[in-house]
Chain A
Amino acid sequence: MSRFGFLLRELVLRDLRSRYTGSAFGFLWAFVHPLWQLALYSLVFSVILRIPLVGERTESFAAFLFAGLLPWMAFQEGVSRGATAILDNGHLVKKMRFPSQVLVLSVVFSALVHSSIALALFAILQGVRGELDPGALHWLLAGVAGQLGLTAGLALLMAALQVYLRDVVHVLGLVLSALFYVTPIVYPVGLVPERLAAWLATNPLTTVVALYRSFLISGRPPSPVALIGLAAVALVALGAGLLVFRGLAAGFSDEL
């Protein structure tokens, strides 16, 4: 393993550990949280609030919602925590020399670890319920890759700008809350008027969510155009994030 890879792994472990050290059940909480959330959704959306799904193969709104929330939560957590990663670790950046990208990336991967646990638990459940499409595993992996590129790119960009301008996280908060609603997470695309649906398709997260759903709830895989679009946007985001970060990193220790 490269030095960078090893450092990244240690920092991901630090982040995961620091959340659970001192608690009696430790890492078990990483499993309890998603299960509890899933149980609540199932109760609310199958007993109290029965929302009909238009154009989806599953009838469980809870399953539909959870499949969409999985990539969103990893994205949202990765970007918003990543954006303050340099600022939060200012004492390290000022006193030690190391590639500081690793601080941002470790938060992104830590969020991915958490969402992967939830994903694995949910996949088992969906397998039991017979809604899982094992043949669509490659779509899920493509979705994870796209999501990772978008998350890392945006997080790096925001983290670098945040050092110079502390207003960045506030703007980011506004953008993320809007992004949540222009991504078909809480509603199926089938409910959206056609004119708006075309706009919705330009959101790369729409494609990520669709890729997750094709595996988890046997949803329809996205079109090749959408796939190419996601790949392109994810690569551009990652490239731009790395480039801007590298450009601004030299001045970090003077600003912190």
Chain B
Amino acid sequence: MTAADSSAVLARDLVKEYHLYPTPGSRVLEWLTRRPRHRVFRALSNVTFEQARGEGLAVIGENGAGKSTLLKLLAGVTQPSAGSLEVKGRTAAILELGAGFHPDFTGRQNIRLTAALLGLTDQEIRERESEIVAWSELGEFIDRPVREYSSGMAVRLGFSIATQVDPEVLIVDEALSVGDGYFQKKSMDRMVAFVEGGGTLLFCSHALYLVSAFCTRAMWLRNGEIAALGRTGDVVREYERFLVAKQKASETRQGPAARPSPVAERPGTGALGRIVSVSQLDGAGETPIYEPWAPFRLEVTFESADPGLGFHVGALIHAEDDTVLSALGSRVCGHAALTGRRRYRIVMDVPNLPYQKGLYHLSVLLLDERALHVYDQRQVRRAFGVVGHHWDPGPFGIGQRFLDLSAEDETRGD
């Protein structure tokens, strides 16, 4: 088997240009006078890549970098201006969930309509309908008009239809950014299962932690060109470095911008798993104070709505300015997901707390079995303090020793 046979996508020197006319009349004038009156906007230039079957490719980059244009080309809703593109296998694209919905029609009627637009036959729709309905969990709303749905419900139905058409290549554009936490978890699971089942996933998202979970490879697009292409970890790191450098540059120009805490970006509803208590076993009072290098143990109890669910627990320790200093996590420690019970009590143990004098914040996260989705989180401001006996300007102790150098002095004195 040659490389071309095992590939799902082959793109060579893809270019996408848009012609922008200053006024609607200038198009007529151009046609009549045969003199160009448009401006060319180049959204993608010379994009070349090959994507193997059964792999996930993440497309990352800033807004306007060409991510959506590339996915539209892959989905076949727009044509390249130059270059060649081949997408092999049945393709389903989720560029916008519920794009084909008619608000006055019931969920069931919209399933038929959307599935027909995706290319399914009457027979195929009949076979899949009950599963689409079941997965969307809309209950009796399935027979109500879609205009009565919340946006989350419409999105759930849209995702359910798009993934039920058994695609070989699935193209997803930022679709997971909407919907409630429970649905996000469910759709993430479905996408992971899709890739594990041999599907080819082309996924574009700003959520870099999601990207790493689904995709073995990543492409960073910058101003319509490939800035990096390779293993997800490497590309994401390179992109993050670029973002940090860019932010620093803008901070020196405009002063520090409010940096969103990484935790705040992951909402949790607590409906499936709920943190009950967070306490520090080695400290007393509202804000326990520790000696440098003292033992630090964090006890977390949480409840599960369903014993079948799996959990990981994590914690982030922030400095006073909200910089994340350390991350603790049951998954990173190599533990299997906790499962099988309704109530859990776990203890995270840090034998020697490395911080120096200061106040520290804590966020505790209750995560799903892949440590991707956040079920619940609890933030404790000024969770603990560390006393200092000396003048310590840095946040960390690094456990230094000072050796007696007098012997060396003696050898030098000849």
Contacts and interface: CB of A to CB of B under 8 A. Distances in A.
Assign chain B's interface to a size class. 20 to 34
B77 A97 contact: yes
Interface stretch (A16-24, A74-82, A192-200): A16-24
Interface in B106-121: 109, 112-113, 116-121
Nearest to B19: A254
Contact of A97 (B76, B96, B102): B76
A95 B96 contact: yes
B93 A165 contact: no
Nearest to A96: B117
A253 interface: yes
Contacts of B77: 93-97, 253
Interface in B90-134: 91, 93, 95-96, 99-100, 102, 104-105, 109, 112-113, 116-122
Contacts of A14: 102, 105, 113
Interface in B49-98: 72, 75-79, 91, 93, 95-96
Contacts of B119: 3, 7, 98
Contacts of A10: 112-113, 116
A190 interface: no
**Interface on chain A toward B: helix, strand, loop, or mixed SS?**
helix
B121 to A, nearest CB: 5
Interface in A149-177: 164-167
Contact of A22 (B27, B104, B112): B104
Of A17, A98, A166, A254, chain B has the most CB atoms within 10 Å of the CB of A254
B197 interface: no
A58 B77 CA distance: 54
B24 A165 contact: yes
B18 interface: yes
Contact of B121 (A6, A91, A92, A251): A6
A18 B113 CA distance: 12
Interface string A215-256: 000000000000000000000000000000000001101100
A96 B101 CA distance: 12
Interface residues of A, number: 27
B69 to A, nearest CB: 10
Contacts of A11: 113, 116
A95 B113 CA distance: 15
A92 B24 contact: no
A254 B99 contact: no
Contacts of B75: 97
A1 B100 contact: no
A254 B104 contact: no
A6 B100 contact: no
Given A253-B77, A254-B78, A165 B99 contact: no
The 9 residue pairs across chains A and B that have the minimum distance between CB atoms: A95-B99, A10-B116, A97-B76, A250-B79, A253-B78, A7-B116, A95-B95, A95-B96, A21-B104
Interface of B: 18, 24, 27-28, 72, 75-79, 91, 93, 95-96, 99-100, 102, 104-105, 109, 112-113, 116-122, 145
16 contacts: A1-B121, A7-B119, A11-B113, A18-B102, A21-B105, A21-B145, A93-B77, A95-B93, A96-B77, A96-B100, A97-B76, A97-B93, A166-B24, A167-B24, A253-B72, A253-B78
